[in-house]
Amino acid sequence: MKAQFLDSVEKYDGSQLVSLHNYLQHKLLGDSIVAWVGPCDVSIEHMVDGEDLLQNAEIRGSKMLHFLIEKFEVQLFSAVALQRLLASILKDQIATVATDKALAALMFREGDDLYVGERKLSISIATQTPLSSLIHFAVNVSNVGTPVKTLSLEDLGIEPKILALESMTLFCNEVKSIRQATQKVRWAK
């Protein structure tokens, strides 16, 4: 799996959640993860979560750390499992690098999201196309412009790029290890 951090500021609006985005926009062919910092404002047109559509949810924030993953040859169930793996990796990394250790210690994962109390740190979705499975995961860098009570990397004293680089490395290593684990076993008789 290839990984790249983008130093440019890009707005996430949901239109990036399409097959081959990481390849056509960033020249990462195959399984990949891209991260960047930028605003978020997902329109109803690009919303793929049925629950959010039913609630006419607002998904936005002025500054978020985004991860966009494309994984080939997996079904949606596996993509959701990878989405939750990334959430767990981020939770662990945040606990490691946060300057506010007490606040970070209160963080918990519920499904694919991270929280401290009722304050939400992340947004995430996994979906599938005919070519691949896609995951968008984002963490608030700032609490400005969010429609719900949030927690941010600023609250935790975390530099987004450092968190992104280490988390992407750990995620790629886990995906590689999972692939290897599938290739070293015999059939059960």
Instruction: Assess if residue 189 is contained within a domain.
Output: no
What tokens were used for 23?
A: 């390849």
The percentage of residues in the chain with a pLDDT greater than 90, rounded to a whole number, is 91
Q: Using DSSP, state whether 177 is helix, strand or coil.
A: helix
pLDDT given at position 47 = 87
pLDDT tens for 31-75 read 999 999 999 999 989 989 888 888 888 899 999 999 999 999 999
Q: What is this structure's pTM?
A: 0.95
Range of the domain at 6: 2-175
Mean pLDDT of 101-107: 96
Instruction: Assess if residue 187 is contained within a domain.
Output: no
Measured in degrees and rounded to the nearest 5, phi and psi for residue 88 equal -65, -40
Instruction: Assess if residue 35 is contained within a domain.
Output: yes
* Rounded Cα distance, 130 and 93, in Å: 33
Q: How many domains does the structure of the chain reveal?
A: 1
Tell which phi-psi region holds residue 60, choosing left (phi > 0), alpha (psi between -120 and 50) or beta. beta
Number of other CB atoms surrounding residue 171 within 10 Å: 24
pLDDT given at position 33 = 98
* Rounded Cα distance, 150 and 68, in Å: 21
pLDDT given at position 56 = 86
Instruction: Assess if residue 9 is contained within a domain.
Output: yes
Measured in degrees and rounded to the nearest 5, phi and psi for residue 113 equal -120, 155
pLDDT tens for 68-91 read 999 999 999 999 999 999 999 999
DSSP H or E stretch at residue 65? strand 59-72
The CATH number assigned to the domain holding 141 equals 3.30.930.10
User: Residues near 100 by Cβ (< 8 Å), separated by ≥ 6?
Assistant: 155, 156, 157
What tokens were used for 150?
A: 């949030």
DSSP H or E stretch at residue 111? none
pLDDT given at position 22 = 98
